[in-house]
A = this chain, B = another copy of it.
Amino acid sequence: MEQDLFKAILRERGLKVTNQRLLVLETIADHPGEHLTAEEIYELAKDKYSEIGLATIYRTVQVLVELNVIDKVSFDDGFVRYELGNAAEVKRHHHHHAICKKCGKVLSFEGDLLETLEQALYDTAGFTVTDHEVKLTGYCRDCTKEKESVRKNI
């Protein structure tokens, strides 16, 4: 996402363009494929602007999620995480995640295999799907071998 587009989105909503908001988005954009927590964004942002406060990070990510500029994800480790979204597209294509139960590694991927399910949900229950999230858990390639030897005894 270009900075100018982001500024336009802010102004369109009557929100002010601040250095802190630009910095938070830039920080997330500079770490593609990572799923940063508020604390991590804070630490990274402080390197460029040490006066920034943690509360500003929390308030800013709320705004960014609201604007569909970033997505909120959770891997059930007690942290809420954020990753770049794709606000400009009409049809959202969220990342899906495969989380290794052993080493915690996260594999991200895309895929629109849910369209038939979403249509069926509308037809049967009248539910209009606007967003979806697929979370897979299991064992990554490196941990699969180890897992098998452990599981044998159970």
Contact between B125 and A117 (Cβ–Cβ < 8 Å)? no
Assembly CA distance A3 to B24 (angstroms): 51
Which residue in B127, B131, B136 is a CB contact (below 8 Å) of A121? B136
Chain B nearest CB, measured from A128 CB (Å): 5
> 1/0 contact trace for A125-136 toward B, CB 8 Å?
111111111111
The yes or no answer to A118 lying at the interface (CB within 8 A) is yes
Assembly CA distance A9 to B52 (angstroms): 51
Question: Which of A34-42, A54-62, A108-116 lies at the interface with chain B?
Answer: A108-116
Assembly CA distance A141 to B114 (angstroms): 19
Chain B nearest CB, measured from A146 CB (Å): 11
Contact between A136 and B118 (Cβ–Cβ < 8 Å)? yes
Contact between B132 and A107 (Cβ–Cβ < 8 Å)? no
Interfacial residues of chain A within 99-113, with CB under 8 A of chain B in the complex = 100-101, 107, 109, 111, 113
Contact between A132 and B137 (Cβ–Cβ < 8 Å)? yes
The yes or no answer to A72 lying at the interface (CB within 8 A) is yes
The 4 closest A-B pairs by CB, nearest first: A126-B141, A129-B138, A130-B138, A131-B137
Q: A107-B127, A114-B134 are in contact. List 20 more A-B contacts (CB 8 A).
A: A74-B74, A98-B129, A109-B121, A114-B136, A117-B134, A125-B140, A126-B141, A127-B136, A127-B138, A127-B139, A127-B140, A127-B144, A129-B137, A130-B138, A131-B138, A132-B134, A132-B135, A133-B134, A133-B135, A134-B135
